[in-house]
Amino acid sequence: MASLYTEQGKNIRRTWLLMTVFLVMIIAIGYFIGWYLNDPSILYIAIVFSLFMNVTAYWFSDKVALAATGAKEADERQYRELHRVLENLAITAGLPKPRLYVIDDPAPNAFAAGRNPKHAVVAVTTGLLSQLERSELEGVIAHELSHVGNRDILVMTVAVVLAGFIAIIADIFLRVSFFGGNNREGRNPILAIAGIVAIILAPFAAQLIQLAVSRKREFLADASGALLTRYPDALASALQKISSYQAPMRRANHATAHLFISNPFGAHEAGKFIARIFSTHPPVEERIAALTQMRV
């Protein structure tokens, strides 16, 4: 079985590959928009913005994720027990204690973000705190710390920012093309249509890249978290409670969905056929089965 450390190098390489792929996609979109609107300067603007967004994704992705989910820093006096659980597990895992945040939401869920263990954050919902027993909460926190140790958080949070940026570029181009694209005489209409279709599909391609970052990381984080607490049944029980909650999170969105321990759109949405195809998480039944079969 892969450990916390064997996956670190792979995830760092995946991050650079992910950033390169997004860079190429944005430059390609910029090239086509410049060709379509007969304005070559758009390509250079796309290159500058893609480089800027790569830097932003690397350095500030945790802040973007926290802002998108409405997370607030957890007061040490109000959430003393939660801080103690996080600190004890971080020491056990040999990691610096991440900054701790709380999301005011009745849906039980949690996520980790940041570019490396020294700049990691862990966020949990108020629903998670109210519905889980201590051993189950420890299992969830251990799962998130495993993401930190595996460097999954770097890959996942970079994907949030870059996928969102591609969606914004595609939307801007479509609005411009419908309301005043200029000087398209002499263009090959087939090539123009193909380019427009490609840009329309670009956000979906970005989402598929997010999925490719891969669902396996959840199985690895489950296993590593269970090894950290030496109690896989507690995490299995927590996943059962989290996944059975019907309502979505108040600020659930597709850009940050893959950060959470479970689908933030609720059990009803997670069960739909199309939703399962584009799900950022493997079926919870498979995760629970893998945990209940573990021997630690």
DSSP string, 63-91: HHHHHHHT-EEPPTTTTHHHHHHHHHHHH
Which phi-psi region, left, alpha or beta, contains residue 116 (left: φ > 0; alpha: ψ -120 to 50)?
A: beta
pLDDT of residue 70: 94
What residues contact residue 49 under an 8 Å CB cut-off, 6+ apart? Answer: 26, 165
pLDDT of residue 173: 67
pLDDT of residue 61: 76
Residues in the chain: 296
Q: What percent of the chain has pLDDT over 90?
A: 34
Q: pTM of the full predicted structure?
A: 0.74
> Does position 21 have pLDDT exceeding 70, yes or no?
yes
User: Per residue in 226-268, pLDDT tens?
Assistant: 989 999 999 999 999 999 998 999 988 776 787 899 988 876 5
Residue range 187-200: mean pLDDT, rounded: 63
Q: Active-site residue among 7, 138, 144, 218?
A: 144
pLDDT of residue 98: 96
Low-confidence winner among 70-84, 99-113, 218-232, 244-258 (lowest mean pLDDT): 244-258
Residue type, 164: G
Burial class (CB in 10 A: 0-12, 13-18, 19+), 130: exposed
**89-103 in b/e burial notation, b at 16+ Cβ within 10 A?**
bbeebebebbbbbbb
| Domain map (residue ranges) of the chain | 8-62+153-212, 67-152+215-292
Q: Are the C-beta atoms of 8 and 150 separated by less than 8 Å?
A: yes
Low-confidence winner among 4-18, 77-91, 136-150, 272-286 (lowest mean pLDDT): 4-18
> Does position 115 have pLDDT exceeding 50, yes or no?
yes
> Does position 22 have pLDDT exceeding 90, yes or no?
no
Domain 67-152+215-292 architecture: 2-Layer Sandwich (3.30)
Q: Which two tokens stand for residue 43?
A: 């390509």
> Does position 269 have pLDDT exceeding 60, yes or no?
no
pLDDT of residue 189: 65
Question: Does residue 144 carry a catalytic annotation?
Answer: yes
> Does position 4 have pLDDT exceeding 50, yes or no?
no
pLDDT of residue 6: 47
What CA–CA distance (Å, rounded) separates 119 from 114? 6
